[in-house]
């Protein structure tokens, strides 16, 4: 159900008041409990509800979100993963998202950046203490409530101790805030959230850690190029640089970040904007409507969830144009590589061997392939018309920087799946 559709009267025991937004996973409504409490109810799309794999992921999302408490998150108050259309209700947190606040008020100064960083570090402490990794911390998932920032969207949070769900096309974050290990399809822990926190602070300071461009270009830079934190005030650059370290082992823990952001017992300074004395009305373009403030906070999960990384190049051109081509040196690794064309092998179909043939059929695009033992078999831009063949005795993890540009043949059988231009997909083949 999208904008303009008829509103349901009730979802579970909650009376629906209005639609807040819609996205890839479904629709979010503002509703009220019988006692009058406002809640945000996320309802899955019908076609997803019919997918048993989606229901498994939805159950995992609910279980993960229920574990996290504290005053830096929006608590889950109710859910029904078994309903014809599964739904999840969270406390309704009024206030603008960080992205909306920055668009309205501009970059933060050093004092506010420090308090924002400390609040987010506390939120990550609460999340990680439950054995969870958020995996998608970004300005659109942070609500600047009156009592301080709240971290939302556990749509792709997963329990660290649980078995990984390795489904084709599974989502894993937002380009521009992805840690290198996330972008390469590796296992992640809380250090990936710390990396995202660093990228959030760069954005809050008015910059962009990895520039602009297609999802593929942003992911490539996060892996191979140093972050740009020139917009960050000088006094905060060392801690932001530490958060954005390529090696997860080099990033500080949330507890250490608290010491770095707020040494000693510094007095609390609100990170929300304090209204100024009444003056002449602001121009219409500088107003943020209340519905938009809250909708942006809640529907961030809808743009993501199980199918998050569908993003398009605003220029309408080649989605891979912004990524470095083969032969360009990487400042992160100090090496360069040129993809070579390798004819398909004839081992497809052999017992115990996984064979994937990847062809850049439409245009050049970034490709990463890892073996079951974690070895990187390929990590570069595959030029248009080039083909590479990869084999493993157990599992191949393939990340397509622009899924529409590639053609895949797995164990001799073409992969019959259509993607939009600019989509980033992680695929696992056993």
State yes or no: is 247 an active-site residue: no
- By DSSP bridging, strand 354-360 and strand 38-44 are unpaired
The answer to whether the CB of 11 falls within 8 A of the CB of 41 is yes
Sheet of strand 14-22: strand arrangement: 10-11, 14-22, 26-32, 38-44, 87-91, 76-80
> Which residues neighbour 343 within 8 Å (Cβ) at sequence distance 6 or greater?
387, 389
Long-range contacts made by residues 252-259, C-beta under 8 angstroms, separation at least 24? 252/194, 253/190, 253/194, 254/121, 254/122, 254/124, 254/125, 254/128, 254/190, 254/194, 255/121, 255/125, 257/117, 257/118, 257/121, 257/194, 257/197, 258/118, 258/121, 258/122, 258/125
Active-site annotation holder among 136, 153, 193, 313 = 136
Distance CA 319, CA 366 (A): 10
Assign 3-class secondary structure to 338-354: CCCCCCCCCCCCCCCCE
Residues designated as active site:
136
């Amino acid at each position: 159900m999208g904008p303009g559709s008829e509103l349901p009267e009730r979802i579970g025991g909650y009376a629906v008041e209005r639609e807040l937004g819609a996205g890839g996973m479904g629709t979010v409504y503002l509703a009220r409990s019988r006692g009058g409490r406002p809640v945000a109810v996320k309802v899955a799309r019908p076609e997803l509800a019919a997918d048993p794999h989606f229901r498994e992921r939805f159950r995992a999302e609910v279980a993960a979100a229920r574990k996290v408490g504290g005053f830096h998150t929006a608590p889950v108050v109710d859910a029904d993963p078994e309903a014809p259309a599964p739904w999840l209700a969270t406390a309704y947190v009024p206030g603008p998202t960080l992205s909306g606040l920055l668009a309205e008020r501009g970059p933060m100064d050093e004092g506010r950046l420090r308090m924002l960083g400390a609040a987010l570090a506390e939120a990550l402490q609460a999340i990680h203490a439950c054995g969870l990794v958020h995996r998608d911390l970004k300005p659109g998932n942070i609500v600047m409530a009156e009592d301080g920032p709240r971290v939302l969207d556990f749509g792709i949070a997963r329990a660290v101790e649980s078995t990984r769900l390795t489904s084709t096309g599974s989502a894993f974050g937002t380009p521009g805030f992805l840690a290198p290990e996330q972008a390469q399809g590796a296992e992640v822990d809380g250090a990936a959230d710390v990396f995202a926190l660093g990228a959030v602070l760069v954005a809050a300071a008015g910059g962009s850690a990895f520039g602009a461009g297609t999802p593929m270009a942003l992911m490539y830079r996060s892996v191979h190029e140093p972050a740009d934190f020139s917009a960050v005030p000088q006094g905060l650059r060392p801690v932001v640089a530490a958060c954005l370290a390529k090696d997860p082992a080099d990033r500080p823990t949330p507890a250490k970040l608290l010491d770095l952001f707020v040494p000693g017992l510094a007095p609390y300074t609100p990170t929300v904007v304090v209204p100024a004395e009444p003056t002449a009305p602001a121009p219409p373009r500088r107003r943020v409507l209340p519905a938009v403030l809250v909708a942006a906070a809640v529907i961030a999960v809808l743009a993501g969830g199980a199918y998050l990384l569908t993003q398009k190049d605003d220029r309408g051109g080649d989605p891979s144009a912004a990524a470095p081509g083969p032969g360009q040196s990487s400042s992160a690794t100090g090496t360069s590589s040129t993809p070579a064309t390798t004819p398909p092998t004839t081992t497809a179909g052999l017992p115990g061997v996984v064979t994937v043939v990847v062809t850049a059929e439409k245009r050049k695009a970034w490709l990463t392939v890892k073996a079951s033992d974690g070895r990187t078999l390929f990590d570069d831009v595959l030029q248009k018309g080039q083909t590479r063949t990869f084999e493993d005795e157990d599992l191949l993890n393939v990340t397509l920087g622009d899924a529409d540009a590639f053609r895949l043949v797995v164990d001799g059988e073409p992969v019959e799946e259509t993607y939009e231009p600019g989509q980033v997909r992680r695929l696992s083949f056993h």
